[in-house]
Chain A
Amino acid sequence: MKNNNEAIAADNYKYIGTRSIRPDGFEKVTGRANYGADLSLPGMIWGKMLRSPHAHAMIKNIDTSRAEALAGVMAIVTYDDFPGVSSEIVAAGEGTEDLLDLARNLMADGKVLYHGHAILGVAAISKQIAEQALELIDIDYDILPAVLDVRDAMAKDAPILHQTMFTKGLSETPTTPSNVASVVELKKGDILAGFAQADIVIEREFYTPTVHQGYIEPHACTVRYDEHGQSMVWCSTQGHFDVRSTTAKLLHMSLSKLKVIASEIGGGFGGKTTVYLEPVALLMSKKTGRPVKMLMDRDEVFKASGPGSATRNWIKVGARNDGTITAMQGKLHYEAGAFKGSPARLGGMTAFTPYDVENMFVECFDVVVNKPKVAAYRAPGAPQAEYAAEMIISELAARLEIDPIDFRLQNVAKEGTKTIYGPKLKKVGLVECLEAAKNSPHYQQPLKDNQGRGVSSGFWFNIGGSSSVTLNMNRDGTGTIVEGSPDIGGSRASMQLMAAETLGIAADNFKTVVADTENIAHNDGTGGSRTTFATGMAVVEAAKDVIRQMKSRAASVWSVEVDTIDWVDGVAINIDSTEKLSAAEICATADRTGGQISGQGNINARGAGPSFAVHICDVEVDKETGKVDVVRYTAIQDAGKAIHPSYVEGQYQGGAAQGIGWALNEEYVYNDKGILQNPGFLDYRIPLASDLPMIETVIVEVPNPAHPFGVRGVGETGIIPPLAATAYAVSDAINAPITDLPCSPPNVLAVIQANS
């Protein structure tokens, strides 16, 4: 495997930046790691959801009598079993959710809103009997026409999904319900004046389809309800504290009466930041007095977990002949699925942020359709909008006959650039990424016949948030890092490295444990690329707390003031006498100097530095079939500081692979009645290893001043540039504009034929 990896930026770290062995790797490759489906309890029964065969229908009647008569059926739960739900905004994943929508998504409240929408749950003594019972439930539907696209949803006579939904954000209060949940405007400067200065203006509308995160592990949980306040949920999640808070809220429990344990997780990418099964399983457990296990089949994951929004985004950009961009405008339409809450606004905030342009204006429409409720997907909202913007930028560069990287550099966002959403950018590394791209061996390589090249920038904010860490020092001087951030990208190794660097003790002396909700204070979920940044800061705080205690213990042993103690390479040194006490020695005698040593780092991290990226993609197009092969790909991204370079590269490569899949073949295919045609990996085509070249990576390091080691989150940005880099490469190869994704063979052939 060819790999063109390099770290830019020098430093003097001893442990940070090394490629230590992943601590959870051995358990995973030997099959010992326990995932969502791996817990079984004595007396446990099985739950299954009955799902709607229709995309849009009123439920006239539900008859469960035949199912209830089946031997082995223990309970049936419906929406009415929730103990009273009202509309309330709660924290969930990377954003917020309306509790009422969440409940109505868990089980339909009289109306089904998409193919696969859960209607009720059956608990039975075996999975087979539960499945058999589903076939014995009789439901009368009044089928309604399905709304499957933002255009249809916004049409004058469109069927309305929610009679109680009135568009928010309009200047006049609407009097009729609408499928548009909200309209948000973002602006900077004077858009009309900006276009008036332009010599050239390009505008197009772009389409991106509904896509799924495609995590390998389906949703799964095992739960036990306990009337005395010992209820438990074991599940695969990116945020077990959020599972606890939403579930407790829905079931009117206090947080202390529900323990949530995060299993090992087989992928999430944002899709495991909400709940689909856990509250229903607890209702079943409450009714039956038995532990309940629920697993989604793969088709259920596609039909009824949260995909990423399909979008129709119109973009218009104007520039002067000298290459100065004068105005950028967008009108973004994001499908929310069946309930409000698409990341349209995030699309608007990110679309133009790689550019320092005076005049910008974006309108963002959040539109409901008869598809599953969208969930976060890796930089939620950004790939779709930035795809449209970057396609126009590349086309403008070509029309102006300016190198696409030079064009981006000429208009580049940098420290001090005012964003469309308000604040000015602090220190960022987009210039460095663009320069690294321009100097890369890839960019120098000439193209062959039928090949094309695309370049794209990408921007994502990253978040900080609440993280709590306890560092328990053992009597032999080793330490256990207790954190509450499920590890979806190798973060346990990074936590060890940051503790090691802070304390001056080798990394393999630390073990990192992801504790359940009872064994550590609240942690926000693993999302927003926050874990290595925020939980990492909490680890550093905890390690500093340990150093303070160690120094104090050494001072008491030597009967000196603590300010005469230095801490170097894991050893306390008496500056005056040069006496030394190692961490192991201090820990061994801790009981005699005041008790065991344990550091605490509970923070709400601020100052998550944005991570910019630049990707270069070369494709070769078979012009007779429309098939696209990616022949070379380079991902360049600012990590601030790569704590563990291998996992940073892994994030770049994984983001690139997912984004290439989004660009080339991934899409939800519905028939005209809204029935999903491809709920499985056979026909929902994510890239295979054999479909991709080795993704080359370049780690750019422009340290984030807000983090002790300069860390920026790296998990999400990498999925943004591949859409435009790949699709523009196809445009370049076939010499015709691509607007609609995916660039699947039939779609590309159609563009070729239309332009020949």
Chain B
Amino acid sequence: MPIVDYKVPVSVDEAVIMLKGCNTAVKILAGGTDLIIQSKPAGSDPLTVVDIKSIDSMMTASIDDEGLTLGPAMSCAELTARDDIKSVYPGLIEAAYLIGSTQVQGRASIGGNLSNASPAADTIPALIAIGARCIIAGPDGERVVAVEDFVVGVGKNCMAQGELLKSIQVPPPEAKTSDAYLRFIPRTEMDIAVAGAGVSITMDSEGVCTAARIAIGAVAVTALLVPAAAAALVGSKLEESALQAAAAAASAASKPISDRRGTADYRRHVVGVLVKRAVSIAAQRAQEQ
């Protein structure tokens, strides 16, 4: 990758101007844990890199009555150390904690994981489950896109050149709501999800599930929100039959491929198992509130 220009904006506005004005291919650099390994050897086309880590708002996170505002380039290591965020969105933190190794988490970011748009990205189902939205800045102002609509294909997101993922916002959860993320890998760490499930569950005081969002990863070209799985849970006390129905709905919604990481049949089966288990974890967390 012959980088012909390396730019370091200090504000979102400056970044948008730089991105728009670029006459070569351009890549946004946050932690670089995907970008650098995707780099091609000498001889490929010239590239401009815009490093956004000097934009303060991209590197911080705040949580209050308005919900969570997350700087997309903040490192996962910083994020996972934030107990105030973990207490509200434990599933999101679980997902962030699964990206790469401890060393990689010192650089990797949620915005990078999202924008890289891998079908197997761990944080995307977790973000979808908690209803996260992407705030995208561009030459014509800002727009808001739900995370489930942000990723449009393998390695593709909805942003045009000149646009920048400025922040990720999550509305404050209802009472007795919690989330969980589980992924399946053949080993214990350092691996890519064979399947993943992010869920958010709201319970009432009677132990009835009143709301749910179920998202699955690594089983289709993009992470999928599965309303049918949520519908199978709402109104139930999360009995085995309801869990099985949610699992079956998730398996049915999946459109996996067979590759070196698992067969389509296996992924379809395991994603249901993960949904079932993640729902139980999230429900328990919700009821402990």
Could you list which residues of chain A lie within 8 angstroms of chain B, going by C-beta atoms?
128-129, 131-132, 135, 624-625, 627, 664-665, 669, 677-678, 682-683, 685, 687-688, 690-691, 744-746, 749
The residue on A at minimum CB distance from B269 is A749
Chain B nearest Cβ from A264, distance in angstroms: 24
Q: Is the CB of B191 within 8 A of A682?
A: yes
20 contacts between A and B (CB under 8 A): A128-B41, A132-B42, A135-B43, A624-B273, A627-B186, A665-B187, A669-B260, A677-B260, A682-B191, A683-B192, A683-B261, A687-B187, A688-B188, A688-B189, A690-B188, A745-B184, A745-B194, A745-B262, A745-B266, A746-B266
The residue on A at minimum CB distance from B272 is A624
**A677 / chain B contacts, CB cutoff of 8 Å:** 259-260
**A132 / chain B contacts, CB cutoff of 8 Å:** 41-43
**B39 / chain A contacts, CB cutoff of 8 Å:** none
**B42 / chain A contacts, CB cutoff of 8 Å:** 128-129, 131-132
The residue on A at minimum CB distance from B276 is A624
Say yes or no: A625-B189 contact (C-beta < 8 A), given A131-B41, A132-B42, A749-B266: no
**B184 / chain A contacts, CB cutoff of 8 Å:** 625, 627, 745
Could you list which residues of chain B lie within 8 angstroms of chain A, going by C-beta atoms?
41-43, 184, 186-192, 194, 259-263, 266, 269-270, 273
Say yes or no: A746-B263 contact (C-beta < 8 A), given A131-B42, A132-B41, A625-B184: yes
The residue on B at minimum CB distance from A665 is B186
The residue on A at minimum CB distance from B266 is A746
User: With A745-B186, A749-B269 given, can you name 8 additional A-B contacts, CB distance below 8 Å?
Assistant: A128-B42, A132-B41, A664-B186, A665-B187, A685-B187, A691-B188, A745-B270, A746-B263
Tell which of B189, B260, B273 touches A683, judged by Cβ atoms closer than 8 Å: B260
**B260 / chain A contacts, CB cutoff of 8 Å:** 669, 677-678, 683
Q: Is the CB of B187 within 8 A of A688?
A: yes
The residue on B at minimum CB distance from A671 is B260
**A745 / chain B contacts, CB cutoff of 8 Å:** 184, 186, 194, 262, 266, 270
Counting chain B CB atoms within 10 Å of each CB, the highest count among A627, A665, A687, A746 belongs to A746
Chain A nearest Cβ from B44, distance in angstroms: 10
Complex Cα spacing A691 to B194, Å: 17
Complex Cα spacing A72 to B273, Å: 56
Q: Is the CB of B186 within 8 A of A685?
A: yes
**A682 / chain B contacts, CB cutoff of 8 Å:** 190-192
**A687 / chain B contacts, CB cutoff of 8 Å:** 187
Complex Cα spacing A664 to B270, Å: 18
Complex Cα spacing A669 to B259, Å: 9
Complex Cα spacing A685 to B190, Å: 10
Complex Cα spacing A131 to B39, Å: 14
Task: Give the top 8 A-B pairs by smallest Cβ distance, nearest first.
Answer: A746-B266, A690-B188, A677-B260, A128-B42, A669-B260, A624-B273, A678-B260, A683-B260
The residue on B at minimum CB distance from A669 is B260
Chain B nearest Cβ from A547, distance in angstroms: 52
Say yes or no: A744-B191 contact (C-beta < 8 A), given A132-B43, A624-B273, A677-B259: no
**B43 / chain A contacts, CB cutoff of 8 Å:** 132, 135
**A625 / chain B contacts, CB cutoff of 8 Å:** 184, 270, 273
Complex Cα spacing A687 to B270, Å: 21
Chain A nearest Cβ from B241, distance in angstroms: 16
Complex Cα spacing A260 to B184, Å: 47
Chain A nearest Cβ from B265, distance in angstroms: 8
Complex Cα spacing A745 to B185, Å: 9
Chain A nearest Cβ from B182, distance in angstroms: 11
Chain A nearest Cβ from B98, distance in angstroms: 13
Say yes or no: A690-B263 contact (C-beta < 8 A), given A128-B42, A132-B41, A625-B273: no
Complex Cα spacing A624 to B189, Å: 19
The residue on A at minimum CB distance from B262 is A746
Chain A nearest Cβ from B196, distance in angstroms: 13
**A744 / chain B contacts, CB cutoff of 8 Å:** 186
Chain B nearest Cβ from A509, distance in angstroms: 41
**A665 / chain B contacts, CB cutoff of 8 Å:** 186-187
Complex Cα spacing A691 to B260, Å: 20
**B41 / chain A contacts, CB cutoff of 8 Å:** 128, 131-132
Q: Is the CB of B191 within 8 A of A690?
A: no
Chain B nearest Cβ from A137, distance in angstroms: 14
The residue on B at minimum CB distance from A70 is B43
**A678 / chain B contacts, CB cutoff of 8 Å:** 260
Complex Cα spacing A633 to B262, Å: 27
Complex Cα spacing A99 to B259, Å: 38
Chain B nearest Cβ from A673, distance in angstroms: 14
**A683 / chain B contacts, CB cutoff of 8 Å:** 192, 260-261
Complex Cα spacing A691 to B192, Å: 15
Complex Cα spacing A308 to B250, Å: 40
The residue on A at minimum CB distance from B192 is A682
Complex Cα spacing A124 to B238, Å: 66
Counting chain A CB atoms within 10 Å of each CB, the highest count among B43, B260, B273 belongs to B260
Chain A nearest Cβ from B40, distance in angstroms: 11
**B269 / chain A contacts, CB cutoff of 8 Å:** 749
Say yes or no: A688-B190 contact (C-beta < 8 A), given A132-B42, A677-B260, A746-B266: yes
**B263 / chain A contacts, CB cutoff of 8 Å:** 746
The residue on B at minimum CB distance from A742 is B186
Complex Cα spacing A682 to B192, Å: 8
**B259 / chain A contacts, CB cutoff of 8 Å:** 677
Chain A nearest Cβ from B1, distance in angstroms: 11
Chain A nearest Cβ from B167, distance in angstroms: 31
Chain A nearest Cβ from B47, distance in angstroms: 16
Chain A nearest Cβ from B188, distance in angstroms: 4
**A664 / chain B contacts, CB cutoff of 8 Å:** 186
Chain A nearest Cβ from B22, distance in angstroms: 25
Counting chain A CB atoms within 10 Å of each CB, the highest count among B43, B187, B269, B270 belongs to B187
Chain A nearest Cβ from B250, distance in angstroms: 14
Chain B nearest Cβ from A73, distance in angstroms: 13
Complex Cα spacing A682 to B100, Å: 11
**B194 / chain A contacts, CB cutoff of 8 Å:** 745
